[in-house]
Chain A
Amino acid sequence: MNARLQIGILALQGAVEPHARLLGRIGASPVYVRKPEQLSGLAGIILPGGESTAMIHLLKLNRLWEPLREFVQTRPVLGVCAGAILLARKVTHPEQESLGAIDIEIARNAYGRQVDSFTAELKPGVAWEGTPIEGVFIRAPRIQKVGAGVDVLFEHKGEPVLVAQGRCLAGTFHPELTDSIAVHHYFITQCEAATPWTTASPNTSASLSVN
């Protein structure tokens, strides 16, 4: 694992630190992203759990919305819970805007309120080579439609809960609140594959222009 792989975590609001801890465990360097210029040189980015309405509000205040939209079109991204809502093509319950990086339709808080939050053992989908993992669902959204190019990595009761379209990953549960590094490990592998300069200096011409 390349210790110099710089992985951003959107740090405007939400469960940021648990992702940083997991990234540290698998040998990547977490970079907290609050401003557009902090996207430059990142091998990928994690959009953490939190409140999606607050995140959208803050992304716009900090002029990150458009730069982030451009970033997730071309670079690896892992969106968890609120992060998955940000990445979806369409959001319902209620409808709200999103970055449209992955061809899924997602409904917010779709299992109910906090008293309906739960943990469950998740079954690997057809596109996952590995064992079941624990899923922590907190006021979680539900993926209600997936496009043709979207693979299911994990499912719960027959519904997709972690999906991938190319380098874009969206999950409705919180791997960062468990001891499992499986999801983050998979994501880092995607980041490495998509980052030809990982063994060279990270700040080369390949970094994005985000002005």
Chain B
Amino acid sequence: MSEMKLKTGLAEMLKGGVIMDVVNREQALIAERSGAVAVMALERVPADIRKEGGVARMANAEIIQEIMDAVSIPVMAKARIGHFVEAQILEALGVDYIDESEVLTPADDRYHIDKFQYSVPFVCGARNLGEALRRIGEGAAMIRTKGEAGSGNIVEAVRHLREIKAQMRRLTTLGPEELMNESKELGAPLPLVKLVAQSGKLPVPNFAAGGVASPADAALCMQLGAEAVFVGSGIFKSENPEKLAHAVVEATANFQDPQILARCSRGLGVAMRGLDITKLRPEERLQERGW
């Protein structure tokens, strides 16, 4: 179990911080300078994956290495759902966290990676409690909401944060005889269902992701109970990435202080344009990926 302590321990260290998607060394340096607690190395940000289409895979090893060499903060990278060899490669490269991510094209339409097989920790996306507990049951050491990546629209992240919170609250009100059925309904392991029923929270840190495009979006996720925030396309698809990166970091740390939020919401230029989720076709909804 000391291994799990090390895995969730790193997530503990990232709490209250911002993890930024970057596609090269320059962006990674901007993220670090702006106070990011970690960067996520990937080939294309979700907004571009959405626009350009094609199969989205793990980033090139050279790019990941270049980013790891450039910054002193932790470097995460994404592997495709179920692609356990991409995960082996990322572990061999020495990345600090692997995101088994719905943003990339799934490699397996039934199974996720057995994350207990790795010494590097994993983060996985979830829309609801059942999905979160299945991923934890497979060894994930951190959960993030899926939101709708690359949309610049916070509504799905809010829905997922609220859903998970409401389902956890409900579990705490149930009697012990009700938990087995609940486990069946949620599609989640009974021991984890019991744990949540007792504690009212996930056994691993719970971060927000998917659609964060402004300091206010980041603070909204934090006020809704997220413990840290991932920002994907929002920063480097905006008019002034460095300024916005600074502002999102400041807003996340001071999420309960409207005076500071007002100050850091000024002079940011044009935010990423964003998408209306209701206009997306079902196959364009990245959050549907994952089983």
Contact = CB atoms under 8 A, between A and B. Distances in A.
Interface of A: 11-18, 34, 49-51, 53-54, 57-58, 61-62, 81-82, 93-94, 108-109, 112-115, 117-119, 136, 138-139, 174, 177
Contacts of A13: 15-17, 37, 253
A51 B37 contact: yes
A54 B74 CA distance: 12
Contacts of B199: none
Nearest to B119: A115
B220 interface: no
B16 A12 contact: yes
Contact of B72 (A17, A18, A34, A109): A109
Interface string B65-86: 0001000111000000000000
18 contacts: A11-B16, A14-B15, A50-B17, A51-B73, A51-B74, A53-B73, A57-B35, A58-B249, A61-B35, A61-B253, A114-B10, A114-B74, A114-B96, A119-B5, A119-B6, A139-B96, A177-B5, A177-B12
Nearest to B6: A117
B73 A117 contact: no
Majority DSSP secondary structure for residues of A touching B: loop
Interface residues of B, number: 34
Nearest to B38: A51
A174 B9 contact: yes
B266 to A, nearest CB: 14
Nearest to A13: B16
B13 A50 contact: yes
A94 B72 contact: yes
A24 B189 CA distance: 32
B96 A54 contact: no
A58 B35 contact: yes
Nearest to A117: B6
A13 B38 CA distance: 12
Nearest to A56: B35
Contacts of A61: 35, 250, 253
B32, B37, B95, B119: residue with the most chain A Cβ atoms closer than 10 Å: B37
A16 B16 contact: yes
A54 B10 contact: no
Interface in B64-115: 68, 72-74, 91, 94-97
